[in-house]
Chain A
């Protein structure tokens, strides 16, 4: 059985259930629990639910220290970009201490970061910056595309013994979806095949999974069978599922709202070229944002971002390319 929830409510359901299940789970961040009526504050009290000053570095560093002592803090960051002011903690402290200590300490923290608010939020609130984090050893990166995954990945993130950056897309916030009843965990590191197909593999990340599925529908109407894969986590990255699909289709389109250089899409393309070259019958096509800051003006915003038409065009392009000699 399942129940329908908006994506953001599915995330909150996961946090609430984990806080009920495990009293070491803490929740703190900016602008949460500012009134006595806050449901988290009412349920769990002011020791476990805390509003913080606008001090991302201190918030995340404190979470790391509490994690050393066995707590599992979830830090509410609202905007992924706000994490950038705390990069020392996110990159140098949280994910490195387990390794640098030779396994003596663990850092089970979750950094909840909204991203990609491409609705006129302009240059500093719209970035899809998960690619910056997927190459940091020790850090895990989740990018849920559905309400069910939002819950299942948040649950897994809280239970994981490593720091996890949980990226939720702002345009999905109120998108409804079926969420399985009861305890629901989506393992970190397992991609989902969202649609099966035989002609072309489309790997899409986060919000763009929905866009890729719409593009696949359009392609189907034109007789092209697209397989759509949602990696769900970028670190660990389930390259095996992507390579298996590639063996079947021989063609790959990677769809990513990030700017192209240094993106997750570029990493996936590199894995395909390096580990799946024998399967490839055409060059990999990347459908990403242009390498530019997202503009405020709506037409300009649309100009730089991937969309359904760009995905359809890329799929047709890889299908029309000259085959690479096997």
Chain B
């Protein structure tokens, strides 16, 4: 049998592989930011990888996802190739968006990563439009939007929840509740503890899960996703998670105390799944090192690809202001 504790080894390995790819990619992005090879403003999702991995494992290429300023993990989990993603962050012509979008505006239409927006909450209604389009076309595709708990206090969130429930759109709202809206703790920006409570009056199905438990994320999302494919919606999945890094790379984080190393060992979604895999017997003792090493080799190759790519020519400016 390929299963242990309800988790198939194949699924467990896939989740670990995705999380390692995101983790190592973003650690490298942090280094390249400090070395000025990654040029602009960068927000890392290190610590939150389980949400991207758990959700995107259920998605097909024709399903679309939207993200916000902390988008690298979602793009990678949805299938964006690491080389062009790294090239985009380095502003190169072979980047996903030819260097015109950057970290906060990653788009990989081919893989259904339809877009990251840099204005908190601005992505939520876009996902409604994708869901509406899928419904009108008679497809069973779904739309997913990732956003943080800060976005819930933006008016557009309530507008979108109302409209999505009114029109029963197959959209799954995935909130990464890391307890901080940029630099501000949740207690300072709302009295409502749970995002799932905010949407209660609209009657949509919702669930709050431990967002650092990738298996829990995946199971809850899979249930919503299947229901959305069969014509129901919308849904809200709130994932309680932890942003290990600052709001942006270089953030001195004076607004919070760093997590103790042993606390992080307990929380780290990768270590947690590895401990589980070893305990359940579907992961060998030496597998974690191999998974990490494989991710490092892939990221090394992505950096080589990006460095070898030229900066975009100025003529691209005129090419893309208007679509023709």
Contact = CB atoms under 8 A, between A and B. Distances in A.
Interface of A: 26, 47-48, 50, 52-53, 55, 57-71, 73, 88-89, 92-93, 96-108, 137-138, 140, 161-162
Contact of B166 (A53, A63, A73, A88): A53
Interface of B: 64, 66, 95-101, 105, 107-110, 114-115, 117-119, 121-122, 124-134, 136-137, 143, 155-156, 159-160, 162-163, 166-167, 316, 319-324
B133 A53 contact: no
- Give the 10 A-B CB pairs with smallest separation, nearest first: A65-B129, A61-B125, A69-B133, A101-B107, A102-B97, A102-B98, A58-B159, A55-B159, A66-B129, A65-B126
A57 B125 contact: yes
B163 A68 contact: no
B115 A101 contact: yes
Contacts of A138: 321-322
16 contacts: A53-B163, A55-B160, A57-B125, A65-B130, A66-B129, A68-B126, A69-B130, A69-B134, A73-B129, A88-B121, A92-B122, A97-B115, A102-B97, A103-B98, A104-B108, A108-B323
Contacts of A161: 322-324
Contact of B159 (A57, A69, A106, A137): A57
Given A58-B163, A138-B322, A65 B133 contact: yes
A105 B115 contact: yes
A201 B107 CA distance: 46
A3 to B, nearest CB: 32
A48 to B, nearest CB: 8
A60 to B, nearest CB: 7
Contact of B320 (A68, A92, A102): A102
B101 A100 contact: yes
A312 B167 CA distance: 54
B129 A64 contact: yes
Nearest to B115: A97
Given A55-B160, A68-B126, A162-B323, 19 more contacts: A47-B136, A55-B162, A58-B163, A61-B125, A61-B156, A63-B129, A64-B126, A68-B129, A68-B130, A69-B133, A69-B134, A69-B137, A70-B133, A88-B119, A89-B122, A93-B117, A99-B320, A105-B109, A161-B323
Contact of B128 (A58, A100, A101, A102): A58
A65 B143 CA distance: 10
Contacts of A105: 107, 109, 114-115
